[in-house]
Structure 1
Amino acid sequence: MTEKRHLTAEDLSNVWKDNNNTCASGLKLDFVEHLLKQHLSQEWIDAKQRVIQIMKLDQFDNSQEIKILDIGCGLGIDLILVAEEAIRLGKTISIVGLDQNSTLIEEAKKLYESKKDSLTSNVSIKIIRGDILQMEFDDETFDIVRSDNTLLHVDLSKALMEIKRVLKVNGRLIALESGGGDIYSSDEIMIKTYDSVLPSRRDGGTAIRLQFMLPKMNFDIKDLNPIVFLQSGHFLASQDKDWMKIRGMGDILVTKGALTKDESKDFQRRYIEACETNQILAAFIMFIIEAAKRK
């Protein structure tokens, strides 16, 4: 294989933007299916419950309306989880779900419509489409900003500036983001290809970058909560219906000039075979970072 350029995080994240969820080649990706499968994973269920606990809604005064922003709200599942926790605690909350992808916004609205009759009057949920980097909210609006696996898809510095702007003083960012991790396989050729074209993971991932960036941007990091994820090849296969994700990856690799069509096909074939024979392992760490905005 000839020397190829590495893709950037932006190359991979652009497909999530509001472009009909379609790669440049015309291959359509089903993000709804992908996110639904992700949320069924026990590791993700446990992580989401820990995020709810770290939000510490019980520490707010009962007379206060807690204002929460969920950036990259996706299917809206987390909006409902937070609402249910507020109801359990008898808290009054106003939640805004923000996402740039219109398909996911419509799905979130459908979920809310199906659940709203079970919500109490002390819970308000609003779901809107918008850009995380240019949010149309007033300064110091929110008590909590949540980000679940969202900040890796955007310019991190710009996103943090906007988050800081819309947070109240002492308001908290609670971010579930990926730290260090990698995939491992007995297929050395596939791994060599993977390492040669995908974004370098030397910076440790979004969560590690946040730990260095937040203190410089007037945040105090209150806590770091690491969660280890180990995913077998069979599990990875179960998360990728009809191999749409790896096919989408292959399309991007070709479109961006990282691999030729033949190299991309070989990479996809090897990855799929490694999953089906359980000769691959994904190992990574997620961090739940709690950080408070200083005065």
Structure 2
Amino acid sequence: MTEKRHLTTEDMSNVWKDNNNTLASGLKLDFVEHLLKQRLSQEWIDAKQRVIQIMKLDQFDNSQEIKILEIGCGLGIDLMLVAEEAIRLGKTVSIIGLDQNSTLIEEAKKLYESKKYSLSSNVSIKIIRGDILQMEFDDETFDIVRSDITLLHVDLSKALMEIKRVLKVNGRLIALESGAGDIYSSDEIMIKTYDSVLPSRRDGGTGICLQFMLPTMNFDIKGLNPIAFVQSGHYLARQDKDWIKIRGMGEILVSKSVLTEDESKDFQRRYTEVCETNQILSAFIMFIIEAVKRK
């Protein structure tokens, strides 16, 4: 295989942008199904519960309205988890969910409509579509900004500048983001292709980058909270019904002239086979980063 350029992070993240979830061939990437399946993993369930604990809503005064922004709110499931925790603790919260994908915004609104009558009067939730790189909120609005697997899809430095702007002094960023990780397989050709075409992972991923960037942007890191994830080939196969994600990736590789069509088909075939025969492992670290905005 002749040397070709890598995909960029932007190539990978553009598919999440509004109206880009259908590729040129008509192949539709079902983000709703993908996110729902992801949430079934016990590792994800545990990670989300740890995020709730690290938010420390119990440390706010009962007379205070806690203003919380969730960037990349997705299906809205985490908005409901925060609301349930606030109700449990008897806290007053105003929660805003922000996402750029209109399909996910509609799903989040459907979930809220189905749950709103079970919420207490001290909890308000608003779900809006918007760009986290240009948020339409006043400076120093929020006590907490949450980001769960969102910052890897955007320009990190620009996103952090906006987060810093909308956070109050002493406000906190709670970010669940992936760190160092890789996939491993006995199919050396598939792994060689995988390594040769994807964006460079030498920076350690978003979770690692945040640990270096936040202190330079007037944040104090209060906790890193690493969590190890190890996923088998059978698990990866269950997460990709009809191999839509791997087919979508293959199509992007061809459209960006990273692989020829034959090379892409061979890569997809090999990836599918190693998953179905359980000859692949995905191993990585997630970080729940708690950072406080300094004066």
> TM-score, normalization: structure 2?
0.99
Residue aligned with 1:87, SS: helix
Letter in 2 for 1:281: L
Residue aligned with 2:253, SS: helix
Residue 204 of structure 2: aligned partner: 204
Deviations 1:86-118 (CA, angstroms, capped at 9, x unpaired): 000000000000000000000000000000011
In 2: Cα distance, 1:81 partner to 1:32 partner: 18
Shift of 1:26: 2.4
In 2: Cα distance, 1:234 partner to 1:240 partner: 10
Alignment of 1:108-147 (within 5 A): 108-147=108-147
Residue aligned with 2:28, SS: coil
- Contact persistence 1:24–1:252 (CA under 8 A): no
Structure 2: state its 5+ residue gaps: none
Residue 5 of structure 2: aligned partner: 5
Letter in 2 for 1:110: K
Residue 218 of structure 1: aligned partner: 218
Shift of 1:21: 1.1
Shift of 1:79: 0.1
Residue 192 of structure 1: aligned partner: 192
Alignment of 1:1-295 (within 5 A): 1-295=1-295
Deviations 1:21-70 (CA, angstroms, capped at 9, x unpaired): 11233211100000000011100000000000000000000000000000
Residue aligned with 2:228, SS: strand
Residue aligned with 1:25, SS: coil
- Contact persistence 2:14–2:20 (CA under 8 A): no
Residue aligned with 2:78, SS: helix
> TM-score, normalization: structure 1?
0.99
Deviations 1:114-150 (CA, angstroms, capped at 9, x unpaired): 0001100000000000000000000000000000000
Residue aligned with 2:224, SS: strand
Letter in 2 for 1:127: I
In 1: Cα distance, 2:205 partner to 2:25 partner: 28
Residue aligned with 1:134, SS: coil
In 2: Cα distance, 1:155 partner to 1:26 partner: 28
Structure 1: state its 5+ residue gaps: none
- Contact persistence 1:148–1:175 (CA under 8 A): yes
Residue aligned with 1:46, SS: helix
Deviations 1:246-293 (CA, angstroms, capped at 9, x unpaired): 011101111111101110000000000000000000000000000000
In 2: Cα distance, 1:23 partner to 1:78 partner: 28
Shift of 1:19: 1.5
Range 11-20 or range 65-74, more displaced? 11-20
- Contact persistence 1:234–1:278 (CA under 8 A): yes
Which stretches of structure 1, 4 residues or more, deviate above 6 A after TM superposition?
none
Residue aligned with 1:40, SS: coil
Shift of 1:20: 4.7
Percent of aligned pairs with the same amino acid: 90
